[in-house]
Structure 1
Amino acid sequence: MVVKVRIRGELLEYLLELSRDFYPNEFAGFLREKDGILEEVLIAPGGHFGPASAFFNTWLLPLDGEIKGTVHSHPDHVCQPSPQDLWFFSKFGGFHLIICYPYSPEDVRAYDSEGNPVEIEVVP
């Protein structure tokens, strides 16, 4: 069985734009799911977004059962999760997107909470 994450095309384009806007720094956010499709991103307030990491206080996130994963950018060509990414993935479950430079649709990878690759399906 192929594990797949479904994401709205509009959201994917927005995430690519955010990645470009934050460059040369990373950005990070949380993904909301509705009816099995990732549809929104939440950027936690008061975060620090630097060239090698992103940090935010998860206590500032709303209690939201629709948060099903995370997204962050890598300002280099490496789309593989780092040990820190894997630790973070394990805390939030669901699906996790990494968007690496130069931030085109081909530069997006999805992983499960253990860091295993997951197929991405873009839906209208």
Structure 2
Amino acid sequence: MKVRIRRELLEYLLELAKNAYPNEFAGFLRERNGIFEEVLIAPNPHAGPSSVFFDTWMLPYDETIKGTVHSHPSPAPWPSEGDLEFFSKFGGVHLIIAWPFTEDDVRAYTSDGWEIGIEVID
């Protein structure tokens, strides 16, 4: 299994992570035709260097949201216990972008926390 993501979106996500540093950022990924193409920034975020919280009740009902993304302001791209709990609630695919926020620092996980590949589409 692989996640497919548009290069333009991936580059934008890397910039969001850099701009949020030293805090985390979070968003929801929209998928069209099997490819992640758009991000919705988490509503009303409260971000810090070790977590980001937001009000999930403010999310729109949107069947095209198939994944999440958040940054880690450390070089550790692995999901924490809190991440795994969050993953289990939202289903789909979850991207973690670790410091220093390059394409090599992006990992994708299933809702169970299993790492999966990433295919960047130009």
TM-score (norm 2): 0.99
Structure 2 portions without partners, runs of 5+: none
Residue 47 of structure 2 corresponds to which residue in structure 1? 49
Look up the equivalent residue of 1:98 and give its one-letter code.
I
CA deviation vs aligned residue, 1:46-102 (integer Å, no higher than 9, x gap)? 110111100000111110000001000000010000000000001111100000000
Residue 38 of structure 2 corresponds to which residue in structure 1? 40
Residue 89 of structure 1 corresponds to which residue in structure 2? 87
SS at match of 2:16: helix
CA RMSD of aligned residues (A): 0.5
Structure 1 portions without partners, runs of 5+: none
Rounded Cα–Cα distance in structure 2 between residues aligned with 1:5 and 1:102: 21
Rounded Cα–Cα distance in structure 2 between residues aligned with 1:32 and 1:25: 23
Rounded Cα–Cα distance in structure 1 between residues aligned with 2:42 and 2:81: 22
Residue 17 of structure 1 corresponds to which residue in structure 2? 15
Rounded Cα–Cα distance in structure 1 between residues aligned with 2:31 and 2:39: 9
TM-score (norm 1): 0.97
Rounded Cα–Cα distance in structure 2 between residues aligned with 1:46 and 1:70: 16
Aligned-residue identity in percent? 66
Rounded Cα–Cα distance in structure 2 between residues aligned with 1:6 and 1:15: 14
Which residue of 64, 67, 81 maps to 2:65?
Answer: 67
CA deviation vs aligned residue, 1:8-59 (integer Å, no higher than 9, x gap)? 0000000000000000000001100000000111012211011110000011
* 4+ aligned runs moved over 3 Å, structure 1: none
More moved, 45-54 vs 19-28: 45-54
